[in-house]
Structure 1
Amino acid sequence: MFLAWNEIKNNKLRFTLVIGVLVLISYLVFFLSGLANGLEQLNRESVDKWEADGIILTEESDLRLQQSVLSKDDFDGTGADEYTELSQLSAIASNGDKKENVFIFAVDTDSFIMPNVTEGQAFADGGQVIADDTLQEDGFEIGDEVSLSSTDETLEIAGFTDNARFNAAPVLFTDQDTLETIQYGETAEDTEDAINAFVIRTDHLDSVEADEALQVVDTETFIENLPGYTEQNLTLTLMIYFLFIISAVVLAIFLYVLTIQKISIFGVMKAQGVSSRYLAGSVVAQTFLLALAGVIIGLVLAVLTGFFLPAAVPVAFHYMEMLTYGLILIAVSIIGAFISVQTIVRIDPLKAIGG
């Protein structure tokens, strides 16, 4: 460690450049992890808000909520501790100034999936909704009359709730009658029992009994089958893994070049009795210090960036995950240094000093 630290102090510019490269790589890793978490949260917020264990959909729906159409009589609660009906519709909502893609969820006010109201009040009359608070940030307010695409019906925002986005769009919560009026019009009478799913809570999901035309899936499986959810997460995760490899390769190249430049010095030191093990340990220690400095600076910069990003950028940092990624970056950097270690071990002192 003594030799490693002294060499860093005596070659500040050279090693500052190495640290700079590691800072950029680690910063990108941490930022991508925050972006992956933010986008994941953006897709699943409202489902997590249910705190449910499973959901019942039709077999032919391909685990898509809007493609599942069933009746309130299709499930009697057998095997479930709690259950409630859920209906869903997608639309474009406008308050006259702003337009937003939204999902409309019809929920029972007494059910466990009824959202908490953070501002305003719960919907009481037909045509009222509780909106996700991201709409408030976009200019929607309590009391706004909201028009919807493909219908002449309007909705009134009675209140706001937090953390209620589904598949990257804000959710409007209302009652079943209002949703049916929006979807089918005032004269629709044969759709009163039509819903999209049953949301259930139970400690034993396998014990839930449903009709053969229905399927019971756990909440996590339902989330993973949301359009684009798995593909998006897999893409960002692969990018992070490739950055680990790039980090190891880049640092290995830097250290190898530095080692080649110092072959004669290492040869003299070995001729004086300094062991290959000590020199190799010095390179590993030097790599550890460089990687540690790069990871710490990159982590700080990523977190600071998160504070200044606008709310529209979905970044969410999970610090335990970032710590894990930081340790992996340090580990792969040390692994990359073993190329230089092999070079040092193979140095012949006589040849190195020109003997």
Structure 2
Amino acid sequence: MKMAWKEMKKNKLRYTILGLIVFLISLLTFIISGLANGLSQDNASLIKNLPDGTFYLEEEADETYSFSSLSDQQQQEIAEEQPATAFFSIQMGNFIDSSDKQRSVAYVSASDSTYFQEVHSGEVILDASLEEEGIAVGDEITNEQWDQSLTVAGFVDQEKYSHSPAAFINPNDFQALFHTDTMQIAFIADSAIKNTDDAPVFKGLQAFSNNEFLNTIPSYSAEQMSLNMIVIFLLVISGMLFAIFFYMINVQKLGIYGILKAIGVKTGKLFQMMWAQMFIISVVSLILSISISQAFQLLAPNGMPFHLTWETTGLLSLVFVIIGFIGATLSGIQIKRVEPIQAIQQGEM
């Protein structure tokens, strides 16, 4: 470590440039990861807030919840086998608030369940993002196609679906507004499954895990795949950067390595010096990029879907260090192969 630090102090500009590039790449990676997580929450927090479990759609719905319709017989069969099953429906729509402004929402109606908001007939509970836009408890919302109005009874945090705020309404109101009394989706939490560790199978229904159901949401998988691919490419680029940088440095120092080997310095010691330099550069760069990305999360506008957890930050930081270690190690293969006499002669040319 001491020898590695002395060399870094001697060649400050060289290592500062590498550190600056790693800082910029890691900062961009954290920002894009935060946007990916934020968009994921904005697109499907209604589903992501549910515990691990199994979702059921009608088999003929072709993995599209809006085409699914669970008959009374199917609901009864599921409820008899799994009494803790939650049945719910989602309908994209809009309403007009007290200031005559039209708002897009995802209407959600559910059977009695601890997983969804309980709403009385004639009332609606909205996502808190609408409260920030001026809607208050006691306001009435209407629609040109409705024969009735709904009164805002409260707000809940982080309940969105398909980038729209959720609006929880009573099943009777849902039936009156959308002219259907059937539920689209059944959900059974893993913790509620009785008598078996496997999710039950029901005739005519298709089962989905949480992640599988998220991918049935329009645009969700394409949106997440694009952003995650960018993050992966940035991680690969950082590994290549370490490999190329240390390869160029090692080529320039073959003569020095030859002398060090000639006086008895082990190859492992030279690798340790290179790893120490890689680790110092990575840690300093990551501390700076983490600090700025977390500050950005605090200062970002409320409307920006940015969500960077410490768990994600820690995982990405660990991946950065591992990839940097691999890149530096691959570039150091020439250190192992170098012969003292040959390296000294090359350094004298």
Shift in Å, 1:178:
1.5
Task: Identify the range of structure 1 (285-294 vs 334-343) with the bigger mean alpha-carbon deviation.
Answer: 334-343
CA RMSD of aligned residues (A): 2.7
The SS at the match of 2:85 is strand
TM-score, normalised to structure 1, is: 0.84
Residue 352 of structure 1 is matched in structure 2 by 346
1:53 maps onto 2:53 in alignment: yes
1:102 to 105, 118, 142: 105
1:337 to 312, 328, 342: 328
Residue 326 of structure 1 is matched in structure 2 by 317
**Percent identity among equivalent residues?**
28
CA distance in 2, matches of 1:281, 1:25: 25
CA distance in 2, matches of 1:308, 1:322: 17
The SS at the match of 1:75 is helix
Q: Map 1:223-234 to 2 at 5 A.
A: 223-234=214-225
Residue 161 of structure 2 is matched in structure 1 by 166
Residue 9 of structure 2 is matched in structure 1 by 9
Give the 3 Å change call, closer, same or farther, for CA 179–263 of structure 1 in structure 2.
same
The SS at the match of 2:137 is coil
Shift in Å, 1:123:
4.2
1:238 maps onto 2:234 in alignment: no
Q: Map 1:243-262 to 2 at 5 A.
A: 243-262=234-253
Contact 1:53/1:205 (8 A) holds in 2: no
The SS at the match of 2:56 is strand
Superimposed CA distance per residue, residues 173-232 of structure 1 (whole angstroms, 9 cap, x where no aligned partner) = 111221222223xxxxxx4x433233334324857464x333344444322322222332
CA distance in 2, matches of 1:266, 1:208: 65
Q: Aligned residues, how many?
A: 339
Residue 119 of structure 1 is matched in structure 2 by none
Shift in Å, 1:124:
3.2
The SS at the match of 1:142 is coil
Which one-letter code corresponds to 2:22 in the other structure? L
Shift in Å, 1:80:
0.4
1:200 maps onto 2:163 in alignment: no
Give the 3 Å change call, closer, same or farther, for CA 13–134 of structure 1 in structure 2.
same
- Structure 1, unmatched stretches of 5+, are 116-121, 185-190
1:86 to 74, 85, 88: 88
1:307 to 256, 276, 298: 298
Task: Identify the range of structure 1 (139-148 vs 150-159) with the bigger mean alpha-carbon deviation.
Answer: 150-159
Task: Identify the range of structure 1 (309-318 vs 131-140) with the bigger mean alpha-carbon deviation.
Answer: 309-318
Superimposed CA distance per residue, residues 35-75 of structure 1 (whole angstroms, 9 cap, x where no aligned partner) = 22222223332224444733332111123222112333432
Shift in Å, 1:263:
3.9
Which one-letter code corresponds to 1:298 in the other structure? S
Which one-letter code corresponds to 1:182 in the other structure? L
Contact 1:87/1:106 (8 A) holds in 2: yes
CA distance in 2, matches of 1:209, 1:274: 66
Task: Identify the range of structure 1 (198-207 vs 249-258) with the bigger mean alpha-carbon deviation.
Answer: 198-207
CA distance in 2, matches of 1:47, 1:349: 62
Residue 25 of structure 2 is matched in structure 1 by 25
Contact 1:52/1:199 (8 A) holds in 2: no
Contact 1:123/1:129 (8 A) holds in 2: yes
Shift in Å, 1:271:
5.0
1:297 maps onto 2:313 in alignment: no
The SS at the match of 1:113 is coil
The SS at the match of 2:120 is coil
Residue 178 of structure 1 is matched in structure 2 by 173
Superimposed CA distance per residue, residues 310-336 of structure 1 (whole angstroms, 9 cap, x where no aligned partner) = 222222223233222212211211222
TM-score, normalised to structure 2, is: 0.85
CA distance in 2, matches of 1:287, 1:338: 10
Which one-letter code corresponds to 1:326 in the other structure? S
Which one-letter code corresponds to 1:124 in the other structure? H
Which one-letter code corresponds to 2:288 in the other structure? I
Which one-letter code corresponds to 1:101 in the other structure? S
Shift in Å, 1:269:
4.1
Give the 3 Å change call, closer, same or farther, for CA 207–20 of structure 1 in structure 2.
closer
CA distance in 2, matches of 1:344, 1:207: 55
Task: Identify the range of structure 1 (145-154 vs 323-332) with the bigger mean alpha-carbon deviation.
Answer: 145-154
